[in-house]
Structures are given as structure tokens and as C-alpha cells.
Amino acid sequence: MASYKRLNPEYVQFSNAVLSEEPERPLLPQRPFCSVTTGLIVLGCLLLLLCGVWLLGTMIWLRRPTSQEPHRPPAPAPAQTPDSQAQPTTAAFNSEACSVIPEPWRFDCYPERGVVVTKEMCEARNCCFIPASSSLPPSRRNGIPWCFYPQEFPSYSLVSLNDTSLGQKGQLVREVKTYYPGDILNLELEIRHETDTRLRVRITDPSNSRFEVPITVPNATEKAESPAYTVELSKEPFGLIVKRSSTGAVAVILILYMHFLQFSSSLPSQFIYGLGEHRSSFLHDVQWNTLTMWARDVPPMEMTNLYGAHPFYLAMEEGGNAYGLFLLNSNAMDVVLQPAPAVTWRTIGGILDFYIFLGPDPGSVIEQYQEVIGFPAMPIYWALGYHLCRWGYGSSNATWEVVKKMRNSGTPQDAQWNDIDYMNHFMDFTFDPANFATLPDLVKDLHAHDQRYVMILDPGISSTQAEGSYWPYDEGLRRGVFINDSDGNTLIGKVWPGLTAYPDFSDHVTHEWWYDNLKSFHEKVPFDGLWIDMNEPSNFLDGSTKGCPSNSLENPPYTPGVLGGLLRGKTVCASAQHKHSLHYNMHSLYGLMEAKASRIVGKRPFVISRSTFPSHGMYSGHWLGDNRSHWKDLYTSIAGILTFNILGIPLVGADICGFSEQPQEELCVRWTQLGAFYPFTRNHNAIDMKPQDPTAFSSLAGTAMKQALLLRYSLFPLLYTLFHHAHVHGHTVARPLMFEFPNDTKTYGIDRQFLWGSGLLITPVLDPGVNYVVGYFPEGLWYDYYTGNSVRSKGEDMRLPAPLDQINLHLREGTITPTQTPNLTLWVSSGQPLHLVSALSEDGSASGDLFWDDGESIDTYETNQYAYIVFSVSQSVMTSQVLHNHVEATFITVQSATFYGVKQAPGKVLVNSQEVSFIYRPNQVLTVADLGLNLSKNFTISWM
């Protein structure tokens, strides 16, 4: 839901390897890889413990394989507090040593924002001070640091090491203290060889328990038998060396320090992805780019921490290999990308617990990542239809009228939504008894037409109603389900209903209370899905009505670059108390915990959440927030869709036509065409804006939008099968081209096109006033989806006609795509006969598959209540093989089949050995119709 209208130290640092002979790398599109791009590249770190107690830090340095001894990392020296005194250090400042460090390899020794760093301040930390070649001041947020780490500093030694059932455990000791009291001089290292492609490293303080993220991860019980990596350890200074067995070595050196967790990774190339949630290109910019993670209610904008936090990145290596790194940490953090290329993580809580995924291809990395965080849920079938919403319908009758206009226009629609205006004074679990009196009747009418109803819920529960008049708050107090302030009293903030309390979703008692409220309201309004919004959690105040205490939680020595500079900015106090831990630790987990609580039992639940965290895809989908009706927002939505697919949340979309500002007809047409290929498709706009549903525009525009949506509905069998593979195997649904063509570096930065699965290429128009679009076609044979006309590409850009009423789609050679005749709802469409489209390779082969079940029962795959059919073409014969049968398949027939790329006109066509009629067109397209083949039985189609 929208909130755009109301928007109007101390620590010890990290270091990185200094490669003085390393040449500066050019930018895209001529970006070369590092000579070693095959390894796991993890560099250093520091850990902050909570509540001002002792802090633990670690640093990992990665170098390239070389026959020479590695350079030592530059030395991080301790920062001073305002009331501390400089002390001697063993890392002596050496200006000559500083000058040889190339600018791309300078790691910031003074990352505090808003500070103009002087030479004296920098050298007080025993760091190098050299103004960069840029004229930008050293206080700017991003840029070449003027204060950076030198090469030498005291580190830990590995004093003991023992084998375990999963790998090794060791003791790390440091004898030289830093500037700060409470140095942790003894640490425990644990290395777990969890699978052949997954390595886990944990560094903890054995004498103190620290916050760990409460999500379920695999509990490996046996050491990997044939790992794709090797791990070597050095004792002094302590080093961790990880090598990709198949391609070469990458050294990783750990050095541990205090006060905030910071670790850096030398990257194998400048191609890095993930690190959500931010508005950016799909391929991140490594030119001194800081990405902050701390869930925040703010419309999408660049250089801002947005709704979710996903500390995972995917990096490409030379030759098409890839690896991934996941830091299992939920505290506020900065991720700094710099052109070395390298990445630095700074987080202010938790422990150092990271995973490295070996891939080797990008898709395999994402599968391995989801094996840790959990595979996404299989969506209920109607979730993949067209959804319509707006803030400001004003009444249930007005909402109903839009639904009727959509039906009368023949435009497909599966779900109607309402924003907060349906509520009584914006209070959860109520509806306006005057303006929305007919809401129950509207929902009944939707159900009668095979449509569904989705309602919004915000977590803030009104706290100002008369006692006994609002059960959610009264009962919540009685059960103790709300977040408390630091004094142990219910924390009160302010959201749409006014003063509010916030449910503590970390407590199972709160889940029970939430369910009871949902059940009670469902008896009045039988809703089908939930839209959980404002769950960062959002607050119109900073902290609470009483403010927040002044302590190190609210004002930590280092604050990442959160919008406004305060952890409590437009959310609850960092010192607020959940049952599980402090809000300081739990903040970015709030949306995930609410999503877990919102999964109603029975049929597959449908939940769309604004705030997300790793593992969210198991419980909910996501939309990209309060975007604007701008062409730029149209374009950036593709990067958002692709990023969330690699983050394990494939059910994702952006508000079609834009949420805020007045929609333009041309923009809305183009956006509907693109939005028809979002995995989750919803049109939504703001209060006081003009309507932007397909019936609100000219007949020409409305027809173009309707055609795009009908096209989506016809492709439902393909989309549903892709979600099955996402659920079972962790595959992406909306897929970057680089996933299918990892050896083609031209695909690495593409985010103006994308694929559905491996074979359907979508090339939308993203600019105003044009009737063409330029798209990149990787090497191979591609077919126009609509006509079957073929084009052979050497890996090149092509100009395509793009009239206002059509989006360009192309089929990749070697694929078979199942489609159906579309209708007004997916319930009707999914019962229609199938049409199979085969895009033949040069050798005449193709393959595809179909997953089919009842569309709504939970765990149909896990309980074997599904059908799975594989199609293949070889040597002029198509075969259908039923690998798993189910009664649902008996209701579906294959009515026709089309083959693109049949080089010669057949003399005859046989279906199950019986000759049938056919049509062959000069563009090498063969069509066989009126088949009537039962999907649950094997069949063959051949031509000669």
C-alpha cells in the first residue's frame, strides 16, 4: 500500500590485498575478467555484538593464484571514540607503502557518513591518507576513499585444529589488542564441507552467545564425499584458502578484528548480481557503489535501502562459471562495490556465518542457494492470472462496477483487490459499514464467476479504540502479542489508523492470534488471499510516541547508510523487544515472520508481501512497491523481476502502469504488454489518480491490453510448469539471458529483455513514441512466436517491428511450448485443449514438458497427486511420454501441434500411425489440427 504521500565511532576496520601490479580494468562493455575467475572469493570481516558488549570481527582476503608469495592485506587500524586517546600500534604508517596501493584497491578506513576526514583523523587510525585523483571531497558517500588501509596489521593465529565429521574446527588467537576494550582474543572457526558444491564457514566467540538468524537451514550430518573445492589453512597469519578443483586456486585469508562485522571479497569480474532490495540495473555497478540493507518503507529510488534485505550475490567468472556468497545475517549492513573489483560487507550485528556455492553455472548456484534458504512454494493456479486493484475505489459498489466492465469487455481477470479504503477507519479485520456494505456480496459474485478476492492487511493494530470495541487489540493485549519498548510496555507507533501497536510475529502465540483474527473476518468476507503491506514495519513516527532511549542500539558506533541516518527512521525503536530478540536484530525479518503467520491452511495460500528476507519465497510472493507512472519505472521493473527470481522469490511483479502519478495511455499499453510476462501480474494505482484498468482507455488501447493478457492466459501451461520447476528444483521463472548463455558475455548486462524458462524470449518496448525495438539474440536459431518465421543469429542485436498492439516474443530452437485457448479466467482457460508449439533445432530436435495438477491442493507433487508429461521431437517424430499420471490429465486433450522449422513439405503426417490432414506453410511451419489426443496417454506424431 502506498505511503508516498507522507514522505514529503568507533570500530576496527578491514583490509584487502594490495595488488600493486594489477592494471586498472576498463568498464563495460569491454570488461575483461580477472585472470582467476574460478574461485570462491571471500575477503575479510568484522562482527558487532549487541547491546554494547564485546564485538567480534573477521576479515577474509582473496587473492589470485600466483607462483609468488601473496601480498599481505592492508592493515586495518582501530578507530577512536570521541573520548578515547590514540595509542601505539604495531602497524606503522608508511607513506611510501600507501602510495603504491592503486585507487581501485583502496578500502575505506573511515566509512562514517557526514564526516570530513582530515589527515590527522585518518592517521590516528594508522591508515593511509591520500586525496584521490577525483576532486570530490572525502565525506561523500561513494567514491575513492581518501583514508584507506595500509598493508600490515596484527592478525590472528591458528593455534589448534581438529577434524570433525563435517570438516574442521580450530581456535584462533590474537595477542595484540586493538584500541577498543573488550577485544575478543580467542575465536572459534568451524569449516563445514556440507555438500560437494556448498561450503559453510562460521566464526564465533566461544565464550558468548550471539544473535543468529532464526530461519531453518539444512543440518548437514556427513562431510561431502567429492567436493568441487579444496580448503587449505595457514597458521600465521591465519589464512583460509579455497580452491575450485576444476579450474584453479583462489586464496582466502581471514583476519579477525572487533566492533562491526566487515568482510570483503575480491571479485573475479565486474559482473555481480543480487544484493536486494535496491532499485538499480540487474548488473550492479562496481564503481564505488554502496548498497544498504535495512528494510524501509520508501518508494523505489536509487541509492536507497528499500523494502527487503537479501545479503546474497551471484558473481560470474571467466568461461561462464559462477559462484554465490550468502551471508546469513539480518542486521543493518552496507555492501560496498568497488572497481578492483571487490565487495565489502559491513554489518552491525550477529555472527559471521557465510555460505559459498560453487555452481558451476549460474542456475546451479541459485539452486544451491535455495537448498539452504528453502525452495519457493507452488502458487495456487489463479495467482498466475491478471489481478486488478487500486487505492481509492471508494466503495464496494464502485469496485464491483469495474469488475463488471472488465467482464463485458472480454478482458481476462482472475482476482480483484481492495486497498485500505475498504477498512473501517483503516483498522485491520474490519470493513466500512457504509461505503463497503456490499463487500460480502461482491466476493460472492466473484466466486460465482470463478474469480477471487484479495484484501490488504497492515501489521499496525489500532490502540485507541474504546475498551471492548476492537477485539484484535483487546485480545492482543490479553495474550501479550505486541512488540514492547525497552521498558517492557507495549510500543505505540502511528500508521494509517492512528496510534498503533505492532504484533510480534516472532512469537507463536502471535501467529495463533493472527490466525484467529483472519478466521473471524473470513466468516464475514470470504477473502481468498492476503496482501501484507507496511511490514518493514512502517511507522509514521521515528521509533514510537515516546521516542527511543539514547543507547548504542539506537545510535551504534557505525550506522550503515540507511535513509535518514537512523535505524529507527520511520520504523520502531531498534531497542524494542520481541520475544525472540531485540528489534535491532529482528527488523529486516519482520515481513518474513508476518508472511509465515499469514498462510491460511486449506488450499494453497496466496500471500503477497512488501518486505522480504531470504526464505520468503516459501511463504509469499512480492511486488516491487510504490513505483511511478514513468517510463524509467517500466524499464527498472525488469531488473527487479530478474533479481527476485535469483533471490528465490519467483512470484514477483511490479504495479502495471505505475502506482503513483497520472498514467499515460501509451505507457499503460506497453506496461500491460510487459506486465503480462511478469510472473505475478497486477495493475494497481493510487488514490486521486485516474483509473488505469484496461477499460479506462480508448478502445484501441483497451484491445491491445486485452490481447496481451489473453496471450498470457494462453501460455498458462508453460508458466505453471515453470513454477513447478521453481518449487521442486529452485529454477528461475523469469530468467536472465546470461543463465542460458553463460559463455556469451554480451548477455551479462541485459535487463531490457528476459526469458520465461529456457526458451521464450520477451523483448518489450520500453521507450515512448517508437514502433520498433532492438533486441539481442544469442547465437542460434530463433522463431517468431506468432508466425514461426525464423532468424539465425551469430549473437547480435536486431531491430524488430513493434506496433502498439504487439509485444515481440521469440522461441528458442529446441524447445516445445504447451499453450491453451485463453478465456476470462484461468479456471476456464486451464480446462481448454492443449496446443503444442515445437521450435525445431537445425537437426530437427526439440523437447519440452508439462506439469499438471488440480491447481490448488497443497503439496500435490510431494503426495504424488499430479501428472507430468515429457514431449520430444527427433527425426521427424514427436513423442509424448507420461512419466507420472493423474486423473487431472484425463480431462485435458491435445488438440493441435505446430512445428516451426520443418525444412521440407511432408508427403503425409501420421498420428499414432493413422494418417491425418495437415497444413504446411512456405515459412517451414507444419500444423496438425483436430487431434483429440488424451494427455494421459502416450502418443506419436510423425511426418515423412
Q: Which residues are catalytic?
A: 533, 536
Element (H, E) at 870: strand 867-874
235-241: list long-range contacts, CB under 8 Å, 24+ apart: 235/157, 235/158, 235/159, 236/157, 236/158, 237/72, 237/155, 237/156, 237/157, 238/155, 238/156, 238/157, 238/158, 238/172, 238/189, 240/42, 240/60, 240/191, 240/201
Q: Are 28 and 339 within 8 A, CB to CB?
A: no
* Residue 929 neighbours by CB under 8 Å, 6+ apart: 895, 896, 917, 919
The residue assigned the cell 497444413 is 919
Q: How many angstroms separate the CA atoms of 591 and 607, rounded?
A: 11
Distance of CA 110 to the CA centre of its chain: 30
* Residue 399 neighbours by CB under 8 Å, 6+ apart: 393, 416, 418, 442
AA letter at 262:
Q
All three cell numbers of 610, joined, read: 512488501
Q: How many angstroms separate the CA atoms of 137 and 117, rounded?
A: 9
Torsion of CA 61, 358, 210, 160, to 10 degrees: -60
CA atoms within 13 A on the CB side of 307: 26
Q: How many angstroms separate the CA atoms of 753 and 762, rounded?
A: 6
* Residue 317 neighbours by CB under 8 Å, 6+ apart: 33, 37, 38, 39, 247, 268, 269, 323
Q: Are 936 and 867 within 8 A, CB to CB?
A: yes
Phi, psi of 780 (to 5 degrees): 140, -170
Torsion of CA 517, 519, 520, 521, to 10 degrees: 80
The residue assigned the cell 598493508 is 151
**β-pair type (198-204, 128-129):** unpaired
Phi, psi of 928 (to 5 degrees): -125, 125
Whether the ω angle into residue 341 lies within 30 degrees of 0, i.e. cis, is: yes
